[in-house]
């Protein structure tokens, strides 16, 4: 009894606790309509185009040159503003060859986190909006890209974009960047991981409807424009004679060589071989499925006959058996791989067509002056 009274005495001696300040109810102000396009909290404004900053262009080009990986990958940082996804910075992801998946995934995640943290401290943008991949001869349909994009599409707002850069086209003189997103039809099929023939037909999926292209723009901020303008104008030396500008115009696109054609043709042949192998596998599997199904049907038919015969003899019919336990019918194979292969073939052929068309023009231009 003493304890409670002592506690009470102690409590009485303490200064009365001040009443906790009543929490101020947060007042919600509606976003004024003039600002509603800029402050888009719910990601309601759909993306219409992607805008790359000049810095991102040069960084992607440099990473594509330097990297020894077959398809260098990196992340894009930026922000979306009123239907335009502005990409203001990018960084490369390190390449692991031959590492097992667990370790390399963790290293990449750690690298990504520390890079984002460091960039935030120097007031850079730190929200990932997508990733880029550099490929040769326009063939970027691989499983890796699709997996990564599917993951991003789930987690990022506005379902991040892929920017694809073609190294060989850049070497020919046309720096090319394209932006893509997975179509919703493909996303449905991917989520269910169901790429059987029936599902393809229901979603109307061909290789050309896996990705939808977004218009892409390149933007140089005024400081960069001023710098570039300064460098490309010819400068005057102190001695009075003019020296060339720091960035003289280049005419490498007028080169008459045709070295790229043989490589392109080789790639087409390889891709077609891969596609044929894939189709062969699919055909084998579907034949197996048909065989198993035929055996199961036969078994069921025989049992029905036997049951009918026993009923005719007056005995109890045989119990129904679960056919699926006896005959294992393998599931329908996924046709995703063959679809991707076909996409590769198409991409190679497309870049081949472009090369030959420019080659034709160049050949006629070279003979223009000589009346051949």
Q: Which of residues 149-208 bind another protein (CB under 8 A)?
A: 167, 169-178, 197-198, 200-201, 204-208
Please choose, out of 15-23, 75-83, 98-106, 243-251, the segment that lies near another protein by the rule CB under 8 A: 243-251
Give the residue with the Cβ less far from another protein, 98 or 244: 244
How many other C-beta atoms lie within 10 A of the C-beta of residue 325? 7
CB 175 to another protein: min, Å: 4
Is 300:323 a contact under the CB 8 Å cutoff?
Answer: yes
Of the candidates 120, 157, 191, 217, which one interacts with another protein according to CB under 8 A?
217
CB 210 to another protein: min, Å: 11
What are the DSSP calls for 199-249, one per residue? HHHHHT--GGGSEEEE-EEEE--HHHHHHHHHHHS-EE-TTSPEEPPSS--
Kindly report the backbone phi and psi dihedral angles of residue 235, in degrees, each rounded to the nearest multiple of 5, phi listed first.
Answer: -105, 160
Of the candidates 93, 139, 162, 182, which one interacts with another protein according to CB under 8 A?
93
Give the residue with the Cβ less far from another protein, 156 or 349: 349
Strands 161-166 and 177-182: antiparallel
- Burial degree of 179 (CB within 10 A; 0-12, 13-18, 19+): buried
Strands 242-243 and 73-81: unpaired
Of the candidates 139, 145, 146, 339, which one interacts with another protein according to CB under 8 A?
339
DSSP 8-state secondary structure symbol assigned to residue 371: T
Alpha carbon distance 330, 342 (integer Å)? 25
Please choose, out of 19-27, 40-48, 144-152, 211-219, the segment that lies near another protein by the rule CB under 8 A: 211-219
Alpha carbon distance 179, 140 (integer Å)? 12
How many other C-beta atoms lie within 10 A of the C-beta of residue 353? 10
Of the candidates 6, 31, 226, 311, which one interacts with another protein according to CB under 8 A?
226
Please choose, out of 150-158, 231-239, 293-301, 322-330, the segment that lies near another protein by the rule CB under 8 A: 231-239
Give the residue with the Cβ less far from another protein, 152 or 335: 335
Site for another protein in 258-287 (CB under 8 A): 258, 261, 265, 268, 272
**Site pattern 25..64 for another protein (x: CB under 8 A):** --------------------------x-xxx-xxx-xxxx
Please choose, out of 25-33, 143-151, 221-229, 323-331, the segment that lies near another protein by the rule CB under 8 A: 221-229
> At how many degrees (to 10) do helices 336-366 and 259-313 cross?
160
Decide if residue 81 touches another protein (CB under 8 A). no
Partners of 180 in the beta sheet?
162, 213
Give the residue with the Cβ less far from another protein, 29 or 101: 101
């Amino acid at each position: 009894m003493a304890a409670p009274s002592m506690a009470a005495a102690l409590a009485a001696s303490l200064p009365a606790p001040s009443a906790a300040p009543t929490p101020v109810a947060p007042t919600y102000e509606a976003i004024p309509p003039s600002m509603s396009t800029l402050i888009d909290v719910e990601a309601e404004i759909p993306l219409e185009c992607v805008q790359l900053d000049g810095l991102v262009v040069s960084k992607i080009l440099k990473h594509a040159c330097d990297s020894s990986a077959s398809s260098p990958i990196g992340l894009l940082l930026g922000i979306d503003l009123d239907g335009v996804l502005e990409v203001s910075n990018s960084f490369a992801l390190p390449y692991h060859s031959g590492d097992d998946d667990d370790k390399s995934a963790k290293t990449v995640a750690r690298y990504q986190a520390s890079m984002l943290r460091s960039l935030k401290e120097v007031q850079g943008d730190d929200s990932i909006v997508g990733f880029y991949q550099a490929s040769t001869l326009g063939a970027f349909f691989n499983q890796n890209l699709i997996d990564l994009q599917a993951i991003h599409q789930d987690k990022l707002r506005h379902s991040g974009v892929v920017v694809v850069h073609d190294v060989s086209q850049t070497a020919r003189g046309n720096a090319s960047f394209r932006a893509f997103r997975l179509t919703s039809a493909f996303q449905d099929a991917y989520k269910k991981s169901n790429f059987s023939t029936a599902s393809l037909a229901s979603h109307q999926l061909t290789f050309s409807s896996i990705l939808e292209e977004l218009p892409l723009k390149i933007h140089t901020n005024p400081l960069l424009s001023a710098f570039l303008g300064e460098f490309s104008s010819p400068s005057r030396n102190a001695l009075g004679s003019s020296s060339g500008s720091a960035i003289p115009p280049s005419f490498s696109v007028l080169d008459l060589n045709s070295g790229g054609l043989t490589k392109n043709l080789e790639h087409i042949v390889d891709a077609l071989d891969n596609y044929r192998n894939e189709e062969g596998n699919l055909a084998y599997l579907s034949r197996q499925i048909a065989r198993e199904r035929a055996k199961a049907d036969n078994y069921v038919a025989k049992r029905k006959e036997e049951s009918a015969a026993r009923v005719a003899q007056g005995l109890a019919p045989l119990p129904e058996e679960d056919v699926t336990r006896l005959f294992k019918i393998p599931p329908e194979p996924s046709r995703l791989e063959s679809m991707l292969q076909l996409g590769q073939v198409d991409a190679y052929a497309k870049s081949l067509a472009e090369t030959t068309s420019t080659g034709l023009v160049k050949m006629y231009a070279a003979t223009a002056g000589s009346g051949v």
